[in-house]
Structure 1
């Protein structure tokens, strides 16, 4: 297959994730504006109660979780392009609709649309990237995370430009939606590789779709989708309070270190895997092991500097493509059901978002001032489970490689 032919398609698909990086973060940057627009109560300090805005943000995850069981099979049956265009359509609806919503209930519906968009993009972009880049698909898939990180890194600058130009915050939503719509028009006419093009056909020359059989290894990989998501989500939702507890003057700096660490991880991991210094399955346990160690160090060494260092290390090791590598590994196990298995791993990831953060909320409430430190210990436990799962996956893959190598040697001898 001529990969070069599909490079423009891959770039257009990466761009959807750049917009996604903005989409999942932008409401949180304008909580007060939306609270005002939706009639929130005014607090004693003159600000608005943002609880209804947080509920709308949570709807993004709910919409994703509801639609993932549908988007995967849809992608496998009707094609990657169709799945991607549906995702782009729903995302454009989200960007435009959320700013016109007169109350939180209408906004909630548009946020659900944003979550649905995310699930259809997941089951379009990941399978397409794996099919376009073939043997290099595992590394190429990590750049979806890189695209998201660039969007989140540039968003504050975009917000600053809009504010400095005395424009309404709504302008950013309209521009982002318009850019996504243009990208969708390109994707509608760009070439996509044949589905399952990188799967070896049977003797009659036909690629037969295999029935999905879930081994213990497959369930372990799916579970890693849960544990690795829990690791970075728990950190993202407790680092600001932890920074304050440890005496950090400006806890928002942690996020900058975190984003920089994530981007460094994607670039360095791509080189390490391409140079065959590391295998994708090895990254699945090495990076979480680094995360668990760093979390424990942060718990024991309570200083402002260690939180900033931890922000970078956890951005690198926890959010630096582990989820994307888990998805790619799962796709390798189910080459003719890429859409479905992508959905399943992402469902595990979405469940982690909901369940783990609720547990973290209870721990924080019960722990009082020391709550963020207890969340750290909880995070260590979850991450260690992820390391054990990944070690098991590595062991099973090594056995499979040994059997394959032995079979090849026998054939050569014959």
Structure 2
């Protein structure tokens, strides 16, 4: 029987498609924004931290309210709050207002996450991992397409803000669409929520999950997985110019190869997850690939290897955060909105902390050191994932279907 929440999923994925563009639009317009707001490139990078601040502050209550009020109010509100950011940033007359608009984007992001992840898990229980990983697919598609949209406006010497306005129009239409579609009842017990309930293999607990152990480890994975891809998104173009000696256009293209790798990854995960490979296995293997790819980028500075490294960095950092969200709800199935908000809080902290730390590292030790720092984050991710895998076997028994 057809799942009744397909339309809801389409609307949610459209939101993340545009979010993929938002994630890189500030960095992609750094020169335009620097001139508009009369600030330096580092000042523009702090706008990314402002998004993290808005997300972090609102996540402390967004998850709990999502469990109480339902998922729809939050994903719909997110669409309209994003309008403030997308219309406000290109029209902002000063840095202070732009900073406030960036905080609004962070609030919208947390609202979207607090509603979307629980809604998809509740609507597609049998394929919860695939449903949440597809979020990253649409984020990657959005990030891949944005440079082409920008090139269209640049080639015609049009105002850079038209890119923002186009995205705002999509959010406006999608917000009204999401108002009209059905969402799962967030208060319905999980075992009768899905149309696939008969086929769903619910995990059984061998022992009581410990929040201070596996819970904390998965939350820290939310931080490290976000830090891994965020550091690359912020610094890869600059690394291409200053370390690899590429032109600005070629340096920005590295992000395209990175985004293609991300897209390939999430498509593979959507097809193979739970059929061929388990989520927790991916969370161990991917950081290993990321560490090797980062080391190749740093030490094998040859054009083909640079492209290949960017591709595999994108492939190995995509979907890990979404899998962390899925796994923590397996350990702690009650109050999904609240428990996933903890992972989101950790991810938001990365948005605030990583730009400052890497900024200091780049000034004192250079960009090679920045990417070596990312290798260190990958190693920490591996250790955390191994521990979570160990605890998963101790705590959860998944019955065979």
TM normalised by structure 2 equals 0.88
Distance 1:289 1:326, change over 3 A: same
Aligned twin of 2:31? 32
How far apart, in 2, do the equivalents of 1:52 and 1:238 lie?
Answer: 15
Distance 1:392 1:157, change over 3 A: same
Aligned twin of 1:105? 96
Aligned twin of 1:305? 304
How far apart, in 1, do the equivalents of 2:89 and 2:377 lie?
Answer: 35
Q: CA deviation at 1:7?
A: 0.2
Distance 1:98 1:253, change over 3 A: closer
How far apart, in 2, do the equivalents of 1:257 and 1:229 lie?
Answer: 19
How far apart, in 2, do the equivalents of 1:361 and 1:167 lie?
Answer: 32
After superposition, the C-alpha distances for 1:27-50 in whole angstroms (9 at most, x for unaligned) are 333333333333x17xxxxxxx44
Matches within 5 A, 1:371-410: 371-401=366-396
Matches within 5 A, 1:111-122: 111-122=102-113
How far apart, in 1, do the equivalents of 2:32 and 2:45 lie?
Answer: 13
Matches within 5 A, 1:73-92: 73-92=64-83
After superposition, the C-alpha distances for 1:314-371 in whole angstroms (9 at most, x for unaligned) are 10002x201111111112222221111221101111212322332222222222xxx2
Q: CA deviation at 1:53?
A: 3.1
Comparing 223-232 with 29-38, greater Cα deviation is found at 29-38
Comparing 104-113 with 243-252, greater Cα deviation is found at 243-252
Q: For the Cα contact (< 8 Å) 1:212–1:337, is it kept in 2?
A: no
Distance 1:241 1:27, change over 3 A: closer
How far apart, in 2, do the equivalents of 1:347 and 1:194 lie?
Answer: 25
Which residues of structure 1 form unaligned runs of 5+? Answer: 42-48, 202-210, 409-414
Which residues of structure 2 form unaligned runs of 5+? Answer: 193-207
Q: CA deviation at 1:166?
A: 4.7
Q: For the Cα contact (< 8 Å) 2:48–2:351, is it kept in 1?
A: no
Matches within 5 A, 1:6-405: 6-38=5-37, 40=38, 49-195=40-186, 197=188, 199-200=190-191, 214-243=211-240, 244-248=242-246, 250-274=250-274, 276-318=275-317, 320-367=318-365, 371-401=366-396
* Partner secondary structure for residue 184 of structure 2: coil
After superposition, the C-alpha distances for 1:292-334 in whole angstroms (9 at most, x for unaligned) are 222233344343332221101110002x201111111112222
* Partner secondary structure for residue 25 of structure 1: helix
Q: CA deviation at 1:62?
A: 1.4
Q: CA deviation at 1:191?
A: 0.6
How far apart, in 1, do the equivalents of 2:362 and 2:313 lie?
Answer: 20
How far apart, in 1, do the equivalents of 2:235 and 2:31 lie?
Answer: 21
TM normalised by structure 1 equals 0.86
* Partner secondary structure for residue 193 of structure 1: coil
Q: CA deviation at 1:196?
A: 5.2
Q: For the Cα contact (< 8 Å) 1:260–1:315, is it kept in 2?
A: yes
- Please tell me the root mean square deviation across aligned C-alpha atoms, in Å: 2.3
How far apart, in 2, do the equivalents of 1:195 and 1:212 lie?
Answer: 22
After superposition, the C-alpha distances for 1:252-310 in whole angstroms (9 at most, x for unaligned) are 23211101100000011122215x21001111111111112222333443433322211
Q: For the Cα contact (< 8 Å) 2:209–2:332, is it kept in 1?
A: yes
* Partner secondary structure for residue 337 of structure 2: helix
Distance 1:8 1:351, change over 3 A: same
Q: CA deviation at 1:61?
A: 1.6
Query: Relative contact order, CA 8 A, sep 6+: which one is greater?
Result: 2
How far apart, in 1, do the equivalents of 2:293 and 2:158 lie?
Answer: 42
Q: For the Cα contact (< 8 Å) 1:131–1:198, is it kept in 2?
A: no
Distance 1:253 1:166, change over 3 A: closer
Distance 1:178 1:354, change over 3 A: same
Name the larger-Rg structure: 1
